[in-house]
Amino acid sequence: MLTFAYPWLLGLIVFPFFLHWLLPSFEQSRSAIRVPMFDVAVEALGASPGKNAVVRRRSWMQTLTFAFCWACLVAALARPQWLGDPIVREVATRDLLLAVDLSGSMETEDFTDQDGKRVDRLTATKQVLGDFLSQRKGDRVGMVVFGSGAFVQIPFTQDLDVCQELLDELYPRMAGPKTSLGDAIGLGITLFDRSEMDSKVLVAMTDGNDTGSRVPPAEAAKIAADKGIVIHTIGVGDPEAAGEELLDEDALRQVAKETGGDYFRAEDRDGLKQVYGKLDSMDTREVETVSHRPRSDLFAWLIAAGMVVSILYHAAVGVGSAVGRLRIVSRANRNIATSDESPIKQSTAA
């Protein structure tokens, strides 16, 4: 689509015609030929001298060339632009942070994969999280992993392919054998502090009780609530186990309740998948789209066209003048040659 950045400048196209009408060409009344008794001679001949008899009028080609060049100049000043097809881009309106437990208990093989094969808890979690991430279009997604300490695995990004690749690299105990849920929440709060999104959601998944955090999960949840962060917790362990593998459901419920989130219990892969499905339906996403149309300036082409036409016109005028002068010189040479031959012929005849 063709458009102009300054369309009001197109009105300058009529400026030369208005100027010609407002300021007509200079005229001076005087005789082009000054001879004695000129008026008497003209009257005797029955002729009448006219105005502008010696003024060379413009040719139609010159007028068209001037009009074309002026139109190109004015159109270039108006800055013509070609608008490309609209480019639509979705802008994230929510930050979603996943906190994944990588403690030693995640090696327990009490889950099954999509093929029914028995796998450890982390493998099943990664499969379900992969499906969950594929539906996060419109969100900025990040991931924190925790064991004996908490670490950032994925900073907030909209590149879901990168998230999937980094998710596949997780393995049990890579962050230590213990469970530090409170530290993971604290690290998540730090990441959210750098975010400008209004909606901030943290989904924390663990299969044990907190044994290594410097900040208890309940205290970290209070800080998160003050900063407007909603935390959903998912328990995938055994609440009847002993030691570090004991799932502290009361602590997970308290964390979720403190921040306005929910607690979910998943005993197998299907249960875990249902949990993430519920989270997807609960936390509706508002996708904001931003569109723009690329612009390509065309004024250079108009200036080039005007220059080319002007050069061609003046070149044609120059060539025509040169050809005319050559014809005059050639005709003069022929006349001189003819006048030189006439006396010789007359003397021969005599």
Buried b (16+ CB within 10 A) or exposed e, 64-89: ebeeebbbbbbbbbbbbbeeeeeeee
Phi and psi dihedrals of 131, rounded to 5? -65, -40
Range scoring the smallest mean pLDDT among 52-61, 81-90, 168-177, 292-301:
52-61
146 near 98, Cβ under 8 Å?
Answer: no
pLDDT of 103: 85
pLDDT of 341: 59
Give 304's contacts (C-beta < 8 A, 6+ positions apart): none
Q: Is the confidence at residue 309, as pLDDT, over 80? A: yes
Q: How far apart are CA 64 and CA 201, in angstroms?
A: 69
Q: How far apart are CA 26 and CA 173, in angstroms?
A: 97
> For residue 43, what are the CA distances in angstroms to 38, 53, 121?
9, 18, 123
Residues 123-178: tens digit of each pLDDT: 888 888 888 888 777 778 899 999 888 999 999 988 888 998 998 999 888 888 88
Residues 204-250: tens digit of each pLDDT: 988 767 877 888 888 999 999 999 999 998 888 666 655 555 677 88
Rounded mean pLDDT of 264-285?
71
- State the amino acid at position 259 in one-letter form: T
Nearest residue to 181 (alpha-carbon basis) of 151, 146, 153 = 146
Helix axes 269-282, 121-134, angle to 10 degrees: 30
Nearest residue to 145 (alpha-carbon basis) of 190, 180, 194, 195 = 180
Tokens for 152, please give them. 């950032």
The β-bridge partners of 81 are 3, 297
Please, is 130 exposed, middle or buried when counting C-beta atoms within 10 Å of its C-beta (0-12, 13-18, 19+)? middle
Residues 48-60: tens digit of each pLDDT: 666 555 555 667 7
Question: What single-letter DSSP state applies at residue 283?
Answer: S
Three-state DSSP at 203 gives strand
Element (H, E) at 141: strand 139-146
pLDDT of 342: 56
pLDDT of 327: 80
Q: Is the confidence at residue 273, as pLDDT, over 90? A: no
113 near 101, Cβ under 8 Å?
Answer: no
217 near 185, Cβ under 8 Å?
Answer: yes
Q: What angle do CA 102, 107, 112 make, to 5 degrees?
A: 110
pLDDT of 202: 92
Q: Place 344 in a pLDDT band, splitting at 50, 70 and 90.
A: low
pLDDT of 285: 55
- What domains does the chain contain, in order, with CATH numbers? 1-32+40-87+294-303 (no CATH), 94-286 (3.40.50.410)
Q: Is the confidence at residue 288, as pLDDT, over 60? A: no
Length of the chain: 350
Q: Place 303 in a pLDDT band, splitting at 50, 70 and 90.
A: very high
Residues 98-111: tens digit of each pLDDT: 999 898 888 888 77
Q: Place 265 in a pLDDT band, splitting at 50, 70 and 90.
A: confident
Q: Are strands 111-112 and 118-119 parallel, antiparallel or unpaired?
A: antiparallel
Q: Place 340 in a pLDDT band, splitting at 50, 70 and 90.
A: low
Residues 189-209: tens digit of each pLDDT: 999 998 877 788 899 988 767
Q: Is the confidence at residue 12, as pLDDT, over 80? A: yes
- State the amino acid at position 340 in one-letter form: D
Greater model confidence, 165 or 290: 165
Q: Place 290 in a pLDDT band, splitting at 50, 70 and 90.
A: low
Please, is 158 exposed, middle or buried when counting C-beta atoms within 10 Å of its C-beta (0-12, 13-18, 19+)? middle
105 near 207, Cβ under 8 Å?
Answer: yes
Q: What is the pTM of this model?
A: 0.59
Q: How far apart are CA 24 and CA 14, in angstroms?
A: 15
pLDDT of 32: 59
- State the amino acid at position 120 in one-letter form: D
pLDDT of 140: 85
Range ranked top by mean pLDDT from 29-38, 82-91, 250-259: 250-259
Q: In whole numbers, what is the pLDDT of the chain averaged over residues?
A: 80
